[in-house]
């Protein structure tokens, strides 16, 4: 299981690891994320006098975009999370959320250009 675009020419590569480049990539390839990205930026970063929240902001949105740029991967993560929410079996729900979480952690590790 990988979140890299290798072998999938229709999946755009990850941008430079900057807020501006990430926003441009989201606007172009995953516009469904743009409203939430911009709202989060305005709420937590834009007027901040402290840049401490920027790494956490970038980690979150880097991973969100890494998943959203691959429709099959995005569908898989959402399916796992939806199945977990609907499950009445605690162990099954936990396993589904752990798998979705694993995919999300891998997504945050994708490098620019991948």
**Strand segments (E) across 1-78:** none
68: in domain: yes
Parent domain of 66: 19-108
Q: Encode the chain (114 residues) as per-residue pLDDT tens digits.
A: 344 455 577 999 999 999 999 999 999 999 999 999 999 999 999 888 888 999 999 999 999 999 999 999 999 999 999 999 999 999 999 999 999 999 999 999 999 999
Kindly state whether residue 65 falls inside one of the protein's structural domains.
Answer: yes
Planar angle of CA 42, 44, 48, nearest 5 degrees: 95
Burial classification of residue 7, based on how many CB atoms lie within 10 Å of its CB (0-12 exposed, 13-18 middle, 19 or more buried): exposed
Predicted model pTM = 0.87
Per the structure, the count of domains in the chain is 1
Of 83, 72, 73, whose CA–CA distance to 104 is shortest? 73
Whether residue 30 lies inside any domain: the answer is yes
**Any domain includes 58:** yes
């Amino acid at each position: 299981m990988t979140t890299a675009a290798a072998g999938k020419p229709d999946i755009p590569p990850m941008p430079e690891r900057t807020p501006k480049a990430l926003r441009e990539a989201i606007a172009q390839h995953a516009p469904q994320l743009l409203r939430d990205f911009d709202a989060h930026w305005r709420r937590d970063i834009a007027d901040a006098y402290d840049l401490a929240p920027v790494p956490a902001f970038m980690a979150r949105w880097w991973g969100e975009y890494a998943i959203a740029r691959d429709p099959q991967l995005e569908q898989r993560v959402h399916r796992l999370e939806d199945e977990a929410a609907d499950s009445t079996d605690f162990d099954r729900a936990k396993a589904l959320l752990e798998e979705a979480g694993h995919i999300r952690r891998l997504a945050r590790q994708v490098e620019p250009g991948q």
